[in-house]
Every structure is written in structure tokens, then in C-alpha cells.
Chain A
Amino acid sequence: MAKKIVVDPIPRIEGHLRIEAQVGENNVIEDAFSTGTMWRGIELILKGRDPRDAWAFAERICGVCTTVHALASVRCVEDALGIVIPDNARIIRNLMNATQQTQDHLVHFYHLHALDWVDVVSALKADPKETSRIAQSISSWPKSSPGYFNDLQQRLTGFVESGQLGIFSNGYWGHSAYKLPPEVNLLAVAHYLEALEFQKEIVKIHTVFGGKNPHPNYLVGGMACAIDPSRDTAINMETLSMVKKIIDDTMTFIDQVYIPDLIAIAGFYKDWLYGGGLGNYLCYGDFPERSLEDTSSLLWPRGAILNRDLSTIYDVDPRDMNQVTEEVSHSWYSYSSGDDKGLHPWQGETTPNYTGPKPPFEHLDHEKKYSWLKTPRWNNHPMEVGPLARVLLQYAKGDPMIKDTVNMVLGTLDVGPEALYSTLGRTAARGIECRQTAGFMLHFYNELIDNIKKGDYKTANTELWEPSSWPSDVKGFGYTEAPRGALGHWVHIKNEKIEDYQIVVPSTWNASPRDAEGKVGAYESALRGTPMADPEKPLELLRTVHSFDPCLACASHVFDMNGNEITKVTIV
């Protein structure tokens, strides 16, 4: 008998997301519905504001992928006003962006995603000597002695025996879908803690250039951090040396901890190749070596792939009024021209119109509107955005570093490129990309040093700082590749104020509800066909949802078709 399961709240994501799934006789997910369950109205709040302030408002859209909306926003306003930023500002923003990608991916792997693959309680049964042997066989990371793992295991045992399990309370420990031996689980728990301590070091680069993290400061026209190697009141050699050390440590951590762990864990799940999903991939590109308009200078390229066909890369133009659109046939909004007609963000409207059940409720009606997310489309196609899209596009374009890393990971696992089209492939792509962005950090640091060496200290262009110098009616587009995928901001500035502001967020692409024609988005597509050992404990569902690194949040109940709650099971 088919069952309906509701997973709400889904933990270890940002925000509030709900998944309802239809589970067939053999416990395979037949259909899934993704619901964004929060709306904050920031686009409306931005109306009428000073465009120079927009980055700060927009940055508060997300504190996990902090910086990304600020970056897209300053680029968007600069595009509208025709402001050309100094080269150092381009480099510093790229360095901060690479820092964000690297830290965000690391936190995602260990703290948001790992517990879908790693059984913490199983680690109590590990032989620390064997864990040490495994650790030393896959990496030269120095924290790998039997004593080290023994101490950790004792600490973990004490923690579990205290009866206060904290964040591990009621996890799916002992679930049959967990495949790691106890020794590898212990290794992963050790690195969970090490990554938790290390992530806070990486972001200090944001603090140097932006004053704080989360939510460092940006500036329309460049960056506010002055550079002067002969003063202690600006960025000088001491601060730059700190940045350099953090970059070196980060590259080491990614190479010696994250990548070996990723390969070691994936090795035990090679057969679990579900969750591929759409097969359509979209990238705006990022990391300009010259200007944002010159897309040939982007280290991360722009382009689209359809139906997993890597032989054809389609051109993407987010300014084209017909390419990127959003419709609201299943979203809690109204459009003046009809909810099923897609609008380009420059024509976009944000009129909330909740038509769902009054809370508390058990189910949503998926025939009608069921999400606070709009439904974005590229040339009418649903698209996946994020690390997998970027890695595939670079792979298709023959980027040497990406090709080498992908081939190394696939070769070590002894699987073909088709393995990339899966939940695990998405997770692997994030790690592969993280190694690349750690390298970008060093690249941009070196670029900055070269400029300073030449005597170029300029970080901001303030020629058009005063609103009186602006054109009276302009539109702009700003983009970035956020850790979770292609992000676009579209602004309309009129008489020195924001007339309209529209944002299309990566998780909106991935987590959107179906469109007027019934075409599903990336989450809904990827969940179809996923087998579950026990629908009561939807570990496999979490795996696939988490592989996208969602930027929302949720909660879950399990029901049969008659709406009766299935008996709840306490695991711990």
C-alpha cells in the first residue's frame, strides 16, 4: 500500500523546508513535493531604499552563505550605475568569494551532510588502532595516532553515556542504510570536530577585508578596506601574512582531510547511485579575471547543459527577457498577468497570496499552490544549479584542474563519469570544487600582492558615489556563483532610489515547486525512484535533499494513505 510521508522539519539545512513524498509498495519514492515554508519579503523591503545600502539588506538573506548576496548586490548596482571598480576590489571580492565557497563546502560536508552517511554511535565500537591505520593509509594528516583516536572514542563514550546526547539525540543510529565500518565512523567523527574548529579560521579572511564574519561589509564602488604597506591603519604585510597563512592551512586541510574522507566514505556507498535528478544544469559563472561583462575572463564559466549531454554547451544570457523567468502557478503569490506566465526578473512581481491551509495542518494540496518558492525556468527548462552543474560544465569544457581531480576521484573509486549523476556525485562535486576554490584563494592572494608590489593600493572608485551623479532611470544585473549555485539580482533604480529589486536564489532553482505544465524542479526530480529501507526513518530522503545543500528548513511525520500516523519509533 502506498504511503505518504511528511518530512518537516528537515534539519541540517538553512531555513525552513518541507518534503512530502509518496512511497510505493517496495518503499521506493514515487513522487515528491518540495515546499519552502518561509517568506520574509526582503524584495519589498528594498523598495525605495538607497541603492548603496542594498548590499547590506540583501546580505541578510542568508548567514550561512554570507557575503554572496552582498556581492551580487554591489555588482548589480554598479552595473546599473556604470561604476567600474578598481582591480584590487575585483581581486579582494574574488578572494572573499573563494574563501566563502571553501568554508561553506567544508561545513556542509562535515556538519550538514556527514550524518547522512556516518553513524556516530557505531564509532563507539571501533578499534582505534585500526582507525589509525586507515587514517595513515589515506592521508599524511598528522592527527592520526592510535592514542588520538582512543582519546576521542573515550570522550565520545562519556558523552553518550551521560544520557545527554545533544545534537545527536534521536538520530537514525543503527539504520541499515549506514554502511561504514565502526573504524571509519570514528575517523569521520574526529574530523567532524576538527572541521568544526577549523572552519572558524578560514573566515578570518573576511574579517581582514570586511571587518567581520558572518556578514562582512562591502561597498558600492569597491571595498572599504584601505591598503597601505607603510601604515598600521590599513591592510599591510602583517595582515596579508595572516591571510597567506590561513590560505596555506586551508589548502592543507582540504587536501589532507576533506578529500581523503570524501573518497574513503564514498567508497562504501558506490552502489548507492540514486538521486541524479533533472540532468539539466545552469551556471552564470564567476571569478572574473577582468570584468564581469567579459564572460571569457571568468574562471568559472557560464553556460547550460541539457539532458546530461556534455557535447553541447548552450549560451546563457540572464539579461535576455525570454531566458530566465519565474512563474507562480504553485507558489503562494499572485501575478497581475496570470500566475502561470513566467516573468523575467526585470518585470518581476512579489505579491504574497497564501492560499494554503490554516496552521496547524497535516498535508498540503499539491494540485494547488504549495510553496513560498517561485518556479524559475531557463528557456522553459527546469535547471539544477550548484557544484555539480559547475563541475560538469568545466569538465565538458575541458578545464585541466577539474578534469584531473574528477578523474582522480572517479579512478580511485573505480566508477565511470555516469556516477556523477547521483546524490553521491553531487556530494563529490562539492569536494572537488572545494579543492579548486582553495587554490583560487592562493591565486587571488598572489594577484593582490603583485598589484601592491606595483604600487597599486586603490580599493574603491568613488567618482559616482554621490546620488546626484547617477542617471535618473536605469536597470542593472548582478550575478555570482554562490556555494549553492547560480545567483542573480536584478535592480531598477529610479530617481536615486530602488524602484524594484528581484532576486533569484540557487535554492529557488533547485527546490522550486512544479510549473504550470507539471514539470518538476531538481529536488522533486532527484527524489523520485529513491528506495528507502524504512520510510519511518527517511535517511535516504535526507541524503538526497542534503546533497543539494538546501538554503531553507523543515519537519516530518509519517502517514499512511488514510492519514493515520504510523507508530513512532524512538531510536536512541
Chain B
Amino acid sequence: MQSKPTYAEIFRQRGLSRRDFLKFCSLTTVALGLAPSFLPKVIHAMETQPRTPVIWLHGLECTCCTESFIRSSHPIMADIVFNMISLDYDDTLSAAAGHQLEEVRHRIMEEYKGRYILACEGNVPMKDDGVYCLIGGDSYKNLLTETAKDAAAVIAWGACATFGCVQNADPNPTGAVPISEIVTDKPLVNVPGCPPIAEVMTSVITHFHTFGTLPELDRMKRPKAFYGTRIHDKCYRRAFYDAGMFVTDFDDESARKGWCLYKMGCKGPTTYNSCSKTEWNDGVSFPIGSGHPCFGCASPGFWDNGPFYKRLADVSFLGTDTNADKIGAVAVGAAAAGAAAHAAVTAVKKRKTGNSDESVQNEG
């Protein structure tokens, strides 16, 4: 087997300077949410590691995760697939077809036994011998089990692979289950969202390659760096929530003023994701930023936690008596005193109950 070029060598091959390479390492360090003191380790890893092979399987899905992945702005997709990983098998992008494509999968499984990453997009229909997803004349369940056997780690991309998503919603006609129910003996990272944010996806890949370890995960196997806080906690509309100022009708003054969307069914208070911090598509906006309530697409079972616009998020854990209808009866035109009172109550309760970041609502 030929020796594989490292990132640093690749940069040199491309005629890029040492300065470009170091800048890339700095950006990667930031994207991974690491302290600047980690920069030398990142540089070392980038200078010594060959590209990690990745087999990317598609089950029951809509390919929105792949589409999100190619939207990544830092790093860009071309840098990922040509310089960082070796995306050797992917239905959506591979040149080879049929048995030639399957041959690649088997070759990687043998040549890089125990060293390749298995990335899974979509979930696994278990009903009726798995006939609801057939690939190469076999069920996705069999294909997945075979490919997972010698993987170093498994990444479950998106709502389908992590928690089930739309196929798995009631009545789940195909018996679709998340990857974690099939692959139980491998290190696994769940990257939920429908789809996940592009840079969150690419950062997971870069982290593994840089440190040879999975990023730190929470109890639901999600990277803490991106799923550690609720959308509500960093939402720029949070001040309006605290002041009891809510949008009560799409396209009225309250909507144009960007008030809180809680009463329109926003699940920001119970959804762990980076939308309000990283934002989408290179920081252009995020659902709430464009006036639509979050419907919690990174949460387990979110499709059955509706109706989206009617079911209000349970915010009792915030330590306030935040019944929006009782306290925040401060909708359009309410007395400022009411808003101030609500905000004061919120502040007092917060001090009493302390930080409730660790509590997980609607996610048990």
C-alpha cells in the first residue's frame, strides 16, 4: 500500500503556503470549539495523518443530510473530500456503479479493517425482512450490519439515523428504527437535526481525524459542542420571551418587530442544537430568524410532538412560572409594567433554581 499524503503535504501539493496551512488549522481549532492552546496538537495531527476512509450508507432517507454536508462553508466540501477524508463509498456522489461500487466498499472494509468510519444517513426498516429498503438485491439492514462490523466508529447523520425522523413517525409503516438499535457494539456519534447544520457535520469528521477520538458526547451520544445548549438559551429573541412579548399572529406588528415565537409553537426552549449560535448556510439566518417557530427537528420524536403550531413547549424547567397566557399576558399593546413584572419574576426564579442546563426536557 502506498503511503498516504498528510494534510500538510496536500497543502504543499496544491501550491498553498505554510501560512495557509496554519490558518486552516486555526480555523479548524475554532470550528471544533477548542481552546487556542490546542492549536499545536491540531497542527501535529494535520501534519502526520493520512486521510480517513469513510463509507457513507443511505437507508430510508431523503438525502437532505448529504445536501447539507455539501453546503459547508468552513471547511468547504471540496477540501473535505479531496484533502481531509477519503469518501470512498457514497451513493450520492460516487462515480462507480453497481458491482464496481460494492467492490469499493468491500475493499475498504478489508484494507482498512477497524480504521474506517461508517457514516449512516437514513434509518433501517425492520418490518417484513427489511423489504422497504433494498440495495443491490439485499436489505439495508443486512448491508448496514455487514459494513458496521469492522468500522472504527459510526456516525449517525440527521434525524432519521439518530432518532427515527419521519418514517418512524406514527404509525411507522415500515418499522423504521435508528442506527443505534442495529449497531450496538461500536463507538457511535449521533448528529441529529433535519438535516443537521453543515458545519456541525463537517466538524465531527474533522474532530475524529484530528484527535483520533470522537468528540465529547452527552448521554444521547450527541457532540456537546453543538448540542449542549437549547436554541432558546442563545436566541436573539430571548429578551422578548423574558419580557413576555410574543408574536400572536404571523405577519402582524409583533412579527415584524421580531418578538418571541413561543406562542406560535416554537420548540426552541426544549431543543438542543446550534441554530441560534452557528446559524444556517454560513450564518445567513435560522428558522426563528426568518420568522418561523422552531419545530424541534433535532429532538427525538418531534414529528409526534405536535401539532407544530398548537403544542407549546413545556417550559416548567426554566424555573419560572412561565405560563405565557397567565404571566405573559403581555401580548401586543400590554402594559410595560406587566412586562417588567414578568421579567422580574423570571430573574428571581432563576436565582433560586440556579442553572438548569443539564436538565433534558421532552428528551427522555
A213 to B310, CA, bound (A): 24
Within B275-316, which residues are at the interface with A (CB < 8 Å)? 275, 280-282, 284-292, 295, 303, 306-310
CB contacts under 8 Å to A, within B1-48, are 1-2, 4-5, 10, 13-15
Cβ A459 vs Cβ B251 within 8 A:
yes
Closest to B121 in A: A63
Q: Is A209 engaged at the interface, CB distance under 8 Å to the other chain?
A: yes
Of the candidates A200, A211, A362, A558, the one whose C-beta lies within 8 Å of that of B73 is A200
Per the 8 Å Cβ criterion, residues 209-244 of A in contact with B are 209-217, 219, 221-228, 231, 233-234, 242
Residue in B82, B88, B306 whose beta carbon sits within 8 Å of that of A159 in the complex? B82
Q: Is the CB of B132 within 8 A of A40?
A: yes
The answer to whether B14 and A154 have CB atoms under 8 Å apart is yes
Please give the distance in Å from B216's CB to the nearest CB on chain A.
Answer: 26
Cβ-defined contact, A50 with B98, below 8 A: no
Partner of B97, one of A37, A356, A459, A542: A542
Contact of B132 among A38, A199, A360 (CB under 8 A): A38
Contacts of A42 in B (CB 8 A): 166-167
Cβ of B347 < 8 Å from any Cβ of A? no
Residues of A near B137 (CB, < 8 A) are 6, 8, 18, 359-362, 555, 557
CB neighbours (8 Å) of B61 from chain A are 63
**Contact at A203–B281, with CB atoms within 8 Å?**
yes
Mask: chain A, 472-493; 1 = CB below 8 Å from B; 0 = not: 0000000000000000000000
Expressed in whole angstroms, the Cα–Cα distance for A362 and B89 within the complex equals: 22
- Give complex CA distance A170, B108 in Å: 12
With known contacts A9-B136, A164-B50, A231-B257, A39–B166 Cβ distance under 8 A = no
Give Cα A9–Cα B134 distance, bound, in whole angstroms.
9
B58 at the interface (CB under 8 A from A): yes
* CB pair B170 A199 closer than 8 Å: no
The answer to whether B286 touches A169, judged by C-beta atoms less than 8 angstroms apart, is no
Complex: how many Å from CA A465 to CA B77?
41
Q: Verify B307–A52 contact, CB threshold 8 A.
A: yes
The verdict on B95 contacting chain A, using a C-beta distance below 8 Å, is yes
- Closest Cβ of chain A to B320, distance in Å, is 24
Residues of A within 8 A of B85 (CB): 166
Contacts of A335 in B (CB 8 A): none
- In the complex, what residue of chain B is closest to A152 when comparing beta carbons? B14
Decide if B346 is an interface residue (CB 8 Å cutoff). no
Distance in angstroms from A565 CB to nearest chain B CB is 8
The answer to whether A197 has its CB under 8 Å from any CB of chain B is yes
Q: Which of A6, A8, A215 contacts B135 (CB 8 A)?
A: A8
**Quick check: A164 and B308 within 8 Å, CB to CB?**
no
Is the CB of B92 closer than 8 A to any CB of chain A? yes
For A63, give its contact among B50, B65, B98, B173 (CB under 8 Å).
B65
For A104, give the chain B residue with the smallest CB separation: B67
Residues of B within 8 A of A72 (CB): none
In the complex with contacts A210-B292, A359-B142, A553-B135, A164-B250 CB distance below 8 A: no
Q: Which residues of chain A are within 8 angstroms of B171 by Cβ–Cβ distance?
A: 44-45
Q: Is there contact, CB below 8 Å, between B68 and A10? A: no
Tell me which residues across on chain A come within 8 A of B308, comparing CB atoms. Answer: 50, 52-53, 56
Which A residues from 411 to 427 make CB contacts under 8 A with B? none
State the CA gap A86–B288 with chains docked (Å): 21
- Taking a contact as CB atoms under 8 Å apart, the answer to whether A462 and B60 are in contact is no
Docked CA distance A207–B71 (Å): 12
Residues of A within 8 A of B101 (CB): 9, 11, 170, 555-556
Contact indicator per residue, chain B 49-61, by CB within 8 Å of chain A (1) or not (0):
0110100001011
Is there an interface contact between A11 and B194, defined as CB atoms closer than 8 Å?
no
Asked if B285 contacts A233 (CB within 8 A), the reply is no
Q: B81 interface residue, CB < 8 Å from A?
A: yes
**CB nearest neighbor in B for A219:** B250
- Measured between C-beta atoms, what is the minimum distance from A358 to chain B in Å? 6
Q: Is B326 an interface residue (CB 8 A)?
A: no
For the complex, is B204 an interface residue (Cβ under 8 Å from A)?
no
Whether B99 contacts A557 by the Cβ 8 Å rule is: yes
The CA of A60 and the CA of B167, in the complex, are separated in Å by 9
CB-contact partner of B173 in A15, A38, A41, A200, under 8 A: A41
Within 8 A of A (CB), among B229-266: 249-251, 255-258
Q: By the criterion CB–CB under 8 Å, are A211 and B78 in contact?
A: no
Interface size class of B (residues with CB under 8 A): 35 or more
Question: Chain A contacts of B174 at CB under 8 A?
Answer: 39-41
Rounded to whole angstroms, the CA-CA distance of A556 and B60 in the bound complex is 19
> How long is the Cα–Cα vector from A463 to B116 in the complex, in angstroms?
55
Q: Which of B123-131, B220-228, B335-343 contacts A (4 or more CB under 8 A)?
A: B123-131
Q: Are the C-beta atoms of A39 and B132 separated by less than 8 Å?
A: yes
A545 CB, min distance to chain B CBs, angstroms: 10
CB closest chain-A residue, reference B158: A63
Complex interface: chain A residues within 8 A of B173 (CB): 40-41, 44-45, 352
Q: Find chain B residues with CB under 8 A from A214 CB.
A: 64, 67-68, 71, 195
Contact code string A2-22 (vs B, CB < 8 Å = 1, else 0) = 000011111111111010000
Find out whether the CB atom of A164 lies under 8 angstroms from the CB atom of B134: no
B327 at the interface (CB under 8 A from A): no
A151 to B4, CA, bound (A): 20
Asked whether any CB of chain B lies closer than 8 Å to the CB of A494, the reply is no
Set of chain B residues within 8 Å of A358, measured between Cβ atoms: 129, 131
Chain B residue at minimum C-beta to C-beta distance from A541: B97
**A228: nearest chain-B partner, CB-CB:** B256
Please determine whether A199 and B2 come into contact, CB atoms closer than 8 angstroms.
Answer: no
Q: Tell me, yes or no, whether A457 is within 8 Å of chain B by CB.
A: yes
Residue pair A197, B91 in contact (C-beta under 8 Å): no
Return A120 CB to nearest CB of chain B, in Å: 7
Residues A168-184 near B (CB distance < 8 A): 168-172
| Interface residue A66 (Cβ < 8 Å from any Cβ of B) | yes
Q: Which residues of chain A have C-beta atoms less than 8 A from B329's C-beta?
A: none
Q: How far is the CA of A40 from the CA of B172 in the complex (A)?
A: 9
Report chain A residues within 8 Å CB of B14: 151, 154-155, 158
Contact of A207 among B1, B255, B281 (CB under 8 A): B281
User: Contact at B281–A204, with CB atoms within 8 Å?
Assistant: yes
Query: What's the Cα separation between A208 and B50 when bound, in Å?
Result: 39
User: What A residues does B50 contact at CB under 8 A?
Assistant: 164
Interface: A460 (CB within 8 A): yes
A464 to chain B, nearest CB (A): 12
| B310 / chain A contacts, CB cutoff of 8 Å | 50
Docked Cα-Cα span, A200 to B306, in Å, equals 31
B96 at the A interface (CB under 8 A):
yes
Residue B103 at the A interface, CB < 8 A?
yes
Q: Which residues of A are found within 8 Å of B97, using beta-carbon distances?
A: 7, 9-11, 538, 542, 554, 556
Chain B contacts to A: CB under 8 angstroms: 1-2, 4-5, 10, 13-15, 50-51, 53, 58, 60-68, 70-73, 76-78, 81-82, 85-104, 128-139, 142, 165-167, 169-174, 176, 194-195, 198, 249-251, 255-258, 275, 280-282, 284-292, 295, 303, 306-310
Given A212-B286, A234-B256, A568-B103; 14 other pairs, CB 8 A cutoff: A8-B137, A11-B92, A13-B91, A40-B167, A45-B173, A60-B165, A151-B14, A162-B5, A167-B87, A171-B100, A215-B194, A555-B102, A556-B98, A556-B99
The 4 tightest CB contacts between A and B, nearest first, are: A556-B98, A63-B64, A233-B258, A555-B136
Q: Which residues of A contact B (CB under 8 A)?
A: 6-16, 18, 37-42, 44-45, 49-50, 52-53, 56-57, 60-64, 66, 86, 111-112, 115, 120, 151, 154-155, 158-159, 161-172, 193, 196-197, 199-200, 203-204, 206-217, 219, 221-228, 231, 233-234, 242, 332, 352, 354, 356, 358-362, 372, 457-462, 465, 537-538, 542, 553-558, 568, 570-571
Listed by A's residue number, 28 A-B pairs whose Cβ atoms lie within 8 Å are A6-B137, A9-B102, A11-B90, A15-B63, A38-B132, A41-B167, A41-B174, A45-B172, A53-B308, A57-B166, A62-B64, A154-B14, A158-B5, A158-B10, A162-B5, A162-B51, A164-B50, A164-B53, A166-B51, A166-B88, A167-B93, A168-B95, A196-B76, A200-B76, A211-B286, A215-B64, A460-B250, A568-B99
